[in-house]
Amino acid sequence: MGTKGKGGRPRVKNKRDHQITVRLTGSEHRKLQQATSGRSIAALVRDRLLGLSKETGPQVPLVNRQAWIDLSRTASNLNQMCYRLNTGGRPEVDRILPLLSLLQRNLEQVRAGLIGGGHGHR
């Protein structure tokens, strides 16, 4: 196992490879969802059961969660384009320009959504 991989996500030292299953009623599940504060239910349950700090990672306020998801997709697309260019891939201008335009529109929409507006303004 080398220190440098082919790319993608870095390897995790303490990989979570054990899973438990719990059945909940609809009411119990809703209570858990309300208590998550933008985290996953799994993170909430793990932290509470193991007595870990509530602040185990970056917390995204619930109101910004959808914007965070949208921005993550946009960032992923941009990273893929940059990776291809940085590894010697030929720029396909007829393909890249429409994607850049789409990325710009997506970022404007996310930005406008964060401040409560409609579409972005220049």
User: What pLDDT does residue 26 have?
Assistant: 92
Average pLDDT, the chain: 76
Q: What's the pLDDT score for residue 60?
A: 62
C-alpha distances out from residue 48 to 32, 41, 44, 56, Å? 12, 11, 6, 11
Q: What share of the chain is helix, strand, coil (3-state, %, to 5)?
A: 55, 0, 45
| Domain-wise residue ranges, the chain | 18-59, 62-114
pLDDT band at residue 121 using 50, 70 and 90 as cut-offs: very low
pLDDT digits (tens, 9 = 90+) for 74-107: 788 788 878 878 888 777 777 778 878 888 888 7
Please check the confidence at residue 28 and state whether its pLDDT lies above 70.
yes
pTM confidence score: 0.38
Dmax of the chain from CA atoms? Answer: 54
